[in-house]
Amino acid sequence: RVGAASDRMGYRLEGPPLEQEGPELLSAAVPVGAIQVPPSGEPIILMADRPTTGGYPRIGTVISADVPVVAQLAPGEGIEFETCSHEAAVRALIEQERGLLA
């Protein structure tokens, strides 16, 4: 679920901490929607005001079409993830943009 310590930089997720193996990574570019896991084990979904680089392990990325949905979540609300192919993510974004133009 979305934690109270969420803002435009990142949405912190609360729940059982995720186990990490190995050292932190070298800093690398991170897109909006990247899901990083800091040492606390509680994932962070990086949002609009995120840093441009990060060194925590990344376990996935929220597709571009769903980032606005995440941005509307309030602290305490649940969130679920599912796998998505690159092609499906592109289709979802195209459909979203068509809806905005209609």
The candidate with the shortest Cα–Cα distance to 37, out of 52, 48, 22, 49, is 22
- Assigned CATH for 10-101: 2.40.100.10
State the Cα–Cα distance between residues 31 and 73, nearest whole angstrom: 19
User: What pLDDT, in 10s, does the model give residues 55-79?
Assistant: 888 999 999 999 999 999 999 999 9
In this prediction, residue 21 carries a pLDDT of 74
Alpha helix (H) ranges present in 1-102? 67-71, 86-101
Domain boundaries, the chain: 10-101
pTM, rounded to two decimals:
0.86
